[in-house]
Amino acid sequence: MKSSNSPIGDTTELVPGRRALPGERINFGRPMLRAFGFRIDLRVVITAGIIAFLALGCGFVGLLLGEFSLTPGEVFQGLFGQAEKRIVNTVVGEWRAPRVIAGIVLGAGLGVSGAVFQSLTRNPLGSPDIIGFSTGAYTGGIVTIIVFGSSFISTAFGAIMGGLLTALVVYLLTWKGGVQGFRLIIVGIALTAMLNAFNTWLILRADLDLAMAAATWGAGSLNGMSWSTLLPAAIGTVLLGLGCGLFSRGLGTLELGDDTAKAL
């Protein structure tokens, strides 16, 4: 049976056991879309759209709530700096909006990183902290705070370098004619335990003020987030997210196993 010219073109049913002829489409059991050479699951598009809508809704509620209560109309006016009260423009545009957008953007980055590590480790519980990346970033942040102080740029740079160095060490220790997901998890767990002990020792040896700053930074907070601190993080998250999207097909192939991935 030849495929139709409808946008949803991968729903053509073929006779079981017969190979698809040229021009025919494979039936994947649910509607599929084709765009820019990619096959997109329609159910995934709908689900992602619903989640994005809910995230925006929660973000709008976040702009409303707080010690200084606002109405929906005041929030819309404050976003564009058109509110009659200057305090509304300040609360919405300078205080709450950066925090809300940071929560959405950085949360999306965590979601993408989790999906990447699930493919690399072939484990549905995969995440950056499994191979020690998060703990290594915390180590880099603590060292930077103790040595150079708690400035935003230096702490962020130290955290990135700490995470990358940890990932490199885990990769080198895991390598044995290739990298297997199980070995990656075992080595990552061991290195994470060692780094956790080292982080505790650093905090105990540091001055009280620096130890408090390191502990607060490690716990994570959107407090004090501004447009100047949000912009570089948002740009990096978007660019790296697009890069992960370009390699999504290869990551999917990794989930089939090393031997199958090499053959494909």
Per-residue pLDDT for 45 more than 50? yes
Same structural domain, 143 and 211: yes
Same structural domain, 133 and 198: yes
Same structural domain, 101 and 219: no
Among 10, 34, 62, the domain boundary falls at 62
Distance CA 154, CA 167 (A): 20
Domain count, the chain: 3
CB count in 10 Å sphere of residue 109: 18
Same structural domain, 236 and 220: no
Among 62, 85, 115, the domain boundary falls at 62
Same structural domain, 206 and 164: yes
CA 160 to chain centre: 14
Query: Which structural domain, as residue segments, surrounds residue 28?
Result: 1-62
Provide the residue type at 140 as one letter: G
pLDDT of residue 7: 43
Same structural domain, 87 and 58: no
Among 62, 83, 109, the domain boundary falls at 62
Same structural domain, 4 and 76: no
Reported as a single tens digit per residue, the pLDDT across 148-199 is 887 888 888 999 999 999 989 988 888 876 667 678 888 888 999 999 999 9
pLDDT of residue 55: 93
Determine if residue 92 is left, alpha or beta; phi over 0 gives left, psi from -120 to 50 gives alpha, anything else beta: alpha
User: Residue 206 is encoded by which pair of tokens?
Assistant: 């540091």
Same structural domain, 75 and 164: no
Same structural domain, 110 and 236: yes
pLDDT of residue 61: 92
At 142, the pLDDT band (50, 70, 90 cuts) reads very high
Same structural domain, 45 and 89: no
Buried b (16+ CB within 10 A) or exposed e, 113-141: bbebbbbbbbbeebbbbbbbbbbbbbbbb
Between 17 and 59, whose confidence is greater? Answer: 59
Same structural domain, 220 and 233: no
Reported as a single tens digit per residue, the pLDDT across 72-105 is 888 988 888 888 888 888 899 889 999 999 999 9
Average per-residue pLDDT in the chain? 82
Reported as a single tens digit per residue, the pLDDT across 58-68 is 999 999 888 88
Per-residue pLDDT for 140 more than 90? yes
Same structural domain, 207 and 133: yes
Instruction: Note the residue count of the chain.
Output: 264
